Homo-oligomer: A and B are copies of this chain.
Amino acid sequence: MRKKKSNITIKVVADRAGVSTATVSRVITGSDVVSPRRRKRVDRAIKELGYSPNRAARELRIGAVLKIGVVLSDIQNPFFTGCLAGIESVLQSSDYVLILGNSKEDPRIEKMHLNSLISDGVGGIILALTSGYDDCYQDLAKSDIPMVAIDRESKYLLVDSVVIDNVSASFQATECLAKLGHRRIGYIGGPLHISTSQERLKGYKEALTNLDIPIEDDLIVNGQYRQGGGCAAMEELLNLPERPTALLIANNLMTLGALEAIYQHDIQIPEALALVAFDDTPWNIALKTPLTVIAQPTYQLGEFAAKLLLDRIKNPDQPLQKIMLKGELIIRDSCGSKI
């Protein structure tokens, strides 16, 4: 174990400036009850000594500040790294430091991170949750740590949130496919205990109902929000006696997996299967068939979340907020229409 970095404490500064530690502290914290003369003396001493206050001591004394915990469900998913970049950019120009945790879609790991953050007494938490259907978050909610849920929500966790309007995005995508003449539209989505999965499925169903297309359970597959999940789901759909002619996929990684299966079976897009997928990605243009997608504003999602959290920390009693961002349908080749 390393020893302390610096022996310049508030005491040293106080001695140098010929004042008490209390006065130095008042200067540091910006308390306005210090006379200009002493303030000047203290400032000089701080500069000369290159003093910077010990964060641990400060935190211990006042309770936690200056740390924001960010727990994401998959830090290798471009969707979340986009969010992360947005969060980071906001925090960068704040006094807060970003503590990162990766839950890998595992509620147990998530719980661990959360506990660690809580016991650290972080100033706030931004969470993309992995589990939404049980009471995992009830005691978390009881801790009074400011928190923002990002992308996903849980009814057991009533906190500020920044999300995509998934129902409408999914509705729009399904409608697009239907308007191109498709009646057998399949759907591949994520685990149903995650709110985004529920909402996207809902949007899909609503669009179908709205257009008098019967909902067929066979055409709906929910799997893991992973590449493997997408591949497996696609195989299932492909094994159907009557295959879908169009498909909506609710996640970028699943899309990659589905594409894997599609190419393996030598199915032509969009001729044999029209496709709309969630998430625009940098690699889209280089794909065999460029994908029609619902682009989600991930970076802004992160920015909003960080700003919202900072707001909430400053003003704990403000009413709960839910910010909803719209996805954007971008037409490319895979849906079979340039519109």
A residues apposed to B, CB below 8 Å: 1-6, 50, 52-57, 59-60, 62-65, 67, 70, 75-76, 78, 81-82, 84-85, 88-89, 92, 97-102, 109, 112-113, 115-116, 118-121, 123, 139, 143-146, 227, 253, 256, 259-260, 263, 281-283, 285-288, 313-314, 316
In angstroms, Cα B96 to Cα A1, docked, is 12
Say whether B88 contacts A100, CB under 8 Å: yes
Say whether A121 contacts B56, CB under 8 Å: yes
Smallest Cβ distance from A223 to chain B, in angstroms?
A: 16
Chain B residues with Cβ under 8 A from A314's Cβ?
1
Chain B residues with Cβ under 8 A from A139's Cβ?
50
Chain B residues with Cβ under 8 A from A64's Cβ?
1-5, 56
Chain B residues with Cβ under 8 A from A109's Cβ?
92
In angstroms, Cα B139 to Cα A96, docked, is 24
Chain B residues with Cβ under 8 A from A50's Cβ?
139
With contacts A55-B119, A76-B85 taken as known, whether A2 is within 8 angstroms of B256 at the C-beta atoms is no
CB-nearest residue of chain B to A84: B75
Chain B residues with Cβ under 8 A from A82's Cβ?
76
Say whether A5 contacts B283, CB under 8 Å: no
In angstroms, Cα B5 to Cα A314, docked, is 15
In angstroms, Cα B5 to Cα A144, docked, is 7
